[in-house]
Each structure stands twice: as structure tokens, then as C-alpha cells.
Amino acid sequence: MSYFDNVVERRDAVKVEMDAILEAVAAESRTDLTEDETTKVDALVEESRALDEKIEKLTAQATADAKASEARAAVKAVVTPVGGTTVTREARTYSAEGEVSFVKDAFNAQFKNDYAAQERLARHTKEESIERRAAGTTAFAGLVIPQYLVDLAAPFARAGRPTADFATSKHTLPAAGMSLEISRMTTGTSTAIQETQNTAVSLTDPDDTLLSIPVRTIAGQADLSRQAVERGTGIDTFVVADLIRSWHTTVDAQVLNGTGSNGQFTGIRNAGGNAVTYTATTPTTALLYSKLADAYQQVESNVFIAPTHIIMHPRRLAAILASSDTTGRPIAVPTANGPMNAVAAGAGLAQYGNSGYSIMGLPVVTDANVGTAYGAATNQDEIYVVAAPEMHLWEQAGSPFALSFDQTIAGSLTLKTVVYGYGAFTAGRYPLAASIISGTGLVAPTF
């Protein structure tokens, strides 16, 4: 129910209460009201007048909004040449090309009781519920951030979330609870050949342990001047967009590198996967290839599933692409060139994240969140060969889904913007479904 509907419903309720009092007086053939009845009627009359004023303002605003929408639709109408059909398009309430600001409306609705802003936020929430098939709320603390803000390019470069998107099995976080519990069978049953008839068959009692996965909070904040929100053009959207991009980058970094302590995920490199050491004074792609093969076979040998992705830092893929054989020919080439005896092959156009290249038939995910300061000399990166179905990431639907303002520095006309969300990750169902390649062979490459 919208804010306007709530006001009208309350106005109707006030009338019912007033009519009930007056009807009771009439039924008793009285001409005067008691003191309590007079106090109650006076209060209801005052509330009725206040509600009538709100309804009048909201109705005027709704009429103006409807006229504006009609004018916008008329201007943006597109007439197709076939059959004279007219196709119209009504823009979403908040869009990159829109004339109203989501952040500014959120502020005005909360602190200025701006009816027009409240109506736009309610309309936006309805649009989101239809578009995303997820329920929303017009309450300030539960505002759904417009999608264009999520996708808007921020001025500060972020590493993004390639591993979280390409190399994990993604789930929606349950609506409640701060931990997820998964049963892991640590001792299995057994079968064996029955030596002779009527002799005991194999018996092993199964046993399990509980894998507890904590739900973590990822959040960020920024202070904005009231002038930036009220008078700025696009400043608020840049700040919110950057917070959102930072949130997603942090999720990805936690999936890879989280330590499991101090509120962090337990990431892939700390979940207890197969350790593959690559030691080389003079690293070469040929030496690395054998380590990748070892990482591959360890996953299959230990958990009996095939790995699905190879995750590496962009500099490591670049080192592979730069390598050549004894005659100077590159050994990682595009598939369009018909490679022969190539270590790696790909589409030829390297793209951050989903690189388009594959090694041993596994797609290579390039992720700048892979650390580059490992090892004694703090100059090594690592490579992860993983089975994505066993890398489990839970995120709350719509995260980062909330935005709030707190006047914590009101004396300086400063407003606080907060973006947050919840998530959980585990590679612990089958830790050996991931292999971690590390060592001196993965020092910073030279080109």
C-alpha cells in the first residue's frame, strides 16, 4: 500500500469514528456532547483537517506527475514505418538520463517530508519488485538502489568480482540467521566381497561433522556535504556507485583471500586445498604447465571431480601470452590461427575477468584481486585450479541493498551515506576441490 493510500485510509477511519460518536448522541436524544466526547470530536476534527491537507497536496502532485509522464511519453514516442504503428516508452523513475536523483529523493523524503520524493521512491520500489521479482519497501532504511547506479562507471578503478561471478556456485542467502550449517560425511560406509554364503558382510558406521559457515557483513560509508546532495549534479550518484563497486570488489577479494578470522570469509587459498609448489630460479611457461597439470590431477585424484576454472592474476596470463618457443613463435595463440602444440589458446582478445583463453580445456579467469605480495620476497602471485561447483558463495538478494543517511555531523552540514550487505562463502565442503600453486616460479614477470 502506498503512502497516499495510507493517508486516505486513515481519513476514512477518522470519519467512521466521528460518525459513531455523533450517532450515539443522536440515539440518546441528547443535544450536547459530554466532556470526553467533545475532546474526542475536537481531536478527530483536527486530524481530519490535517489529513485533508495532505490528500490535497498529494493529489495535486499526482496530477502533475501524470501530466509530466504523458508529456515525456509523447516526446519519446517512436513511430515505426511499418503499418504506422506507434511504440511508446516510459522511462523508469530513476535512470542515468533521468531528471531526478535517487539519493536526493531519499534525503528529501527522510528529512524534509517531501511528498513528491516519497511518491517517486514508492513508484521506484514497485518497478524494482516487478523488474527483479523481489519485494521492496518504501521505508528509508530498506530502499532498493536503482540498477543504473550499480552499473554506472565510477571514476575510481576497481578490480571487480571475476572469481565470484565466473568461478563460484552462487546462492541466495536465507532470510534470517548469521550462520549456515552443512553436514560433511567424514567416515563413509563400506562394501566388500562376501567371502562365502552366510558370512558377515562389510559393515562401517558412517560419521559426519558439521561445517559452520558464518554470515559476514560487508559495508562502507562516505560523508557528503548537504550542499553536494541538495545542489550538486551527479555528485551523489558517483559516490554511491563507487561504494557499490567497492562492495563487490571486497566480496571477490574475500572469496579468494579471506582468512576466516576477524569477520572475514575463509577464502579459497585458506580453505585447505591441494598445495602445489612451483620452484624455479628462471621460470618458464613449460615449467608452469607441468604444475598446472599436477594441480589438475590432484583435484580429480582427491575428490573425484574435474576442475572447471583456472584463476590467475592478469600479469600471470600476460606472462604466458608473452612466452615463445626456441624459434620465437608464441606458444599461446588465438584459436582462429589454428594453433598446434600450444600451451594455451583463446579468442585472441584478452578481456579482464573472463579472459577468453583456456589451458588444458579450462577457462582462465583473470582477477586482479589475486595477491601479488606472497612469498619471502613479497613479490609472488598464486594460481588456483578449482572446481566451481564446490566454491559456494551466498549473497543476500539485491545486495548491496540498503542506503541510509545519519545526521552524525549535523553541525557541519555533513550527511553520512552507508552501503552494506551480507554474504557467506565456503570451499570447505570438499577443500581438495581446489589446488593452490605457489612458489618462487611465480615472482613478478618481466616483459
Task: Give pLDDT tens digits along the chain (447 positions).
Answer: 577 777 788 888 888 888 888 888 788 888 788 888 888 888 888 888 888 888 888 787 777 777 776 666 655 554 444 555 554 556 678 776 667 777 677 767 765 677 788 888 888 777 765 554 433 333 333 455 565 565 544 457 889 999 999 989 999 999 889 999 989 888 999 999 999 999 999 999 998 888 999 999 999 988 888 787 777 666 677 788 888 889 999 999 999 999 999 999 999 999 999 999 999 999 999 999 999 999 999 999 999 999 999 999 999 999 999 998 888 888 887 765 556 666 666 655 556 788 888 999 999 999 999 999 999 999 999 999 999 999 999 998 878 876 666 666 667 778 888 889 999 999 999 999 999 999 999 999 998
CATH number for the region 152-186+205-447 comes to: 3.30.2400.10
Coil, strand or helix: which one is 187?
strand
In 256-349 the beta strands, taken as DSSP E runs, fall at 274-277, 309-312, 332-334, 344-346
Coil, strand or helix: which one is 390?
helix
Which residue intervals of 115-222 are DSSP H helices? Answer: 115-132, 147-151, 162-166
Domain boundaries, the chain: 1-90, 152-186+205-447
Give the C-alpha distances (Å, rounded to integers) separating 248 from 29, 176, 384, 390, 401: 71, 22, 20, 21, 12
The partner residues of 166 in beta bridges, in order of sequence, read: none
Coil, strand or helix: which one is 292?
helix
* Dihedral angle sign, alpha carbons of residues 304, 306, 308, 313: positive
Kind of pairing between the strands at 309-312 and 362-366: parallel
Quick one: pLDDT at residue 72?
Answer: 65
- Identify the residue whose cell numbers are 575428490: 303
| H or E segment to which residue 172 belongs | strand 169-172
Rounded to 10°, the helix 3-27/35-76 angle is 150
Quick one: pLDDT at residue 410?
Answer: 66
| H or E segment to which residue 323 belongs | none
Give the C-alpha distances (Å, rounded to integers) separating 351 from 171, 365, 402: 26, 9, 31
Quick one: pLDDT at residue 129?
Answer: 59
- φ, ψ at 180 (rounded to 5°): -115, 135
Quick one: pLDDT at residue 79?
Answer: 45
